[in-house]
Amino acid sequence: MLEALLSPTLLPGEQERPQRLLDAMRYAALDGGKRLRPFLVIESAALFGASGSGVLRAACALELVHCYSLVHDDLPAMDDDDLRRGKPTVHRAFDEATAILAGDGLLTYAFDVMADPATHPDAAVRCELALGLARASGLGGMAGGQMLDLAAEAAGIALSRAEIEQLQAMKTGALLRFGAEAGAIFARADAHERAALIAYGQALGAAFQIADDILDAEGDEAAMGKRVAKDAGRNKGTLVGALGIEAARKLRDELAQQAVDALAPFGARANVLVQAARFTAQRAH
């Protein structure tokens, strides 16, 4: 579906097509990634028997936002990364201006996809999805979390545990939480079911981030031959740095269990989401 949404014929019949921009958007969004966010949309919708191209479109809209955020985060002015998923980052493969525009284009297209009647017959549902996506992605969500992260790094401040939890709930947690919630919105689930999925997505998101940070720390350990987790300053933006690796591991497992517990109302129907939480706690990439 993502391939179809970013089809090379997306811009038919124009005299002059911004082909380079479409190429960069395709490069950024296709071919790679865990697809955890769209997985959450699809599986949470499936809990209520919802499936089909509309659900896939909503899932893709969320993935488009995730992909845009990677393109912009990789920029020289941000994290300045040369590689992403084993390939040159967008600003390396194209150029910086094209990467900025490709991120902008992906973000904009996410709302195009979400608001389009093809995504859901009920406009109220489409609006709620678009609104939820905007809230998860903007100032109070992902973009705000990235700002907190950059600001803390620039100031050289070691954040408290509560501050790190807040930052990560915004920077990575908000999109994952919305992924789980989106299925409930799509299927017009009742308030209890929706709250259960929000709780699941929230706990899963927090567990995911810690698991990711543990993998980074352990990777570093192997590479550097020392326990980098001792050096809390180096990991100041992570709970591994703030708590140490053992306590972080314990917290990760508790959060994964919280995520599983939140699914109790759905019984065996939620098995795939339960497995996802367990899998996330075991490994992140």
Per DSSP, what are the bridge partners of residue 84? 87
Q: Nearer to a second copy by C-beta: 139 or 272? A: 139
Q: Nearer to a second copy by C-beta: 110 or 255? A: 110
Residue 11 as a binder of a second copy (CB under 8 A): the answer is yes
What span, in angstroms and rounded, lies between the C-alpha atoms of 10 and 48? 32
Task: State the sign of the Cα–Cα–Cα–Cα dihedral 135, 139, 141, 142.
Answer: positive
Q: By CB under 8 A, name the one of 22, 56, 206, 273 that touches a second copy.
A: 22
What span, in angstroms and rounded, lies between the C-alpha atoms of 205 and 148? 18
Contact window for a second copy (CB under 8 A) among 109-117, 193-201, 225-233, 250-258: 109-117
Q: Nearer to a second copy by C-beta: 86 or 156? A: 156
Residue 241 as a binder of a second copy (CB under 8 A): the answer is no
Collapse the DSSP code of 160 into the 3-class scheme (helix H, G, I; strand E, B; otherwise coil) and give the result: coil
- For residues 133 and 65, is the Cβ–Cβ distance under 8 A? yes
- For residues 197 and 181, is the Cβ–Cβ distance under 8 A? yes
How many binding residues for a second copy (CB under 8 A)? Answer: 62
In the complex, least distance from residue 15 CB atom to a second copy, rounded to whole angstroms: 5
Q: What x-and-dash track marks residues 248-267 binding a second copy by CB under 8 A?
A: --------------------
Q: Residue 16: what are its φ and ψ, rounded to 5°?
A: -135, 115
Q: Nearer to a second copy by C-beta: 239 or 263? A: 239
What span, in angstroms and rounded, lies between the C-alpha atoms of 285 and 280? 8
- For residues 241 and 229, is the Cβ–Cβ distance under 8 A? yes
What span, in angstroms and rounded, lies between the C-alpha atoms of 77 and 6? 27
In the complex, least distance from residue 139 CB atom to a second copy, rounded to whole angstroms: 5
Q: What x-and-dash track marks residues 156-195 binding a second copy by CB under 8 A?
A: ------xx--xx--x-------------------------
Dmax over CA atoms of the chain, in Å, equals 60
- For residues 71 and 30, is the Cβ–Cβ distance under 8 A? no
- For residues 47 and 183, is the Cβ–Cβ distance under 8 A? yes
Residue 77 as a binder of a second copy (CB under 8 A): the answer is yes
Q: What x-and-dash track marks residues 123-162 binding a second copy by CB under 8 A?
A: xx-xxx-xx-xxx-xxxx--xxxxxx-xx----------x
Among 196, 215, 192, which residue's Cα sits nearest to residue 204?
196
- For residues 130 and 114, is the Cβ–Cβ distance under 8 A? yes
Contact window for a second copy (CB under 8 A) among 18-26, 189-197, 218-226, 234-242: 18-26
In the complex, least distance from residue 230 CB atom to a second copy, rounded to whole angstroms: 26
Q: Nearer to a second copy by C-beta: 123 or 264? A: 123
- For residues 29 and 67, is the Cβ–Cβ distance under 8 A? yes
Among 262, 285, 283, 284, which residue's Cα sits nearest to residue 274?
262
In the complex, least distance from residue 148 CB atom to a second copy, rounded to whole angstroms: 5
Interacting residues toward a second copy by CB under 8 A: 10-11, 14-18, 20-22, 25, 68, 72, 75, 77-78, 95-98, 100-101, 103-105, 107-109, 111-112, 114-117, 122-124, 126-128, 130-131, 133-135, 137-140, 143-148, 150-151, 162-163, 166-167, 170
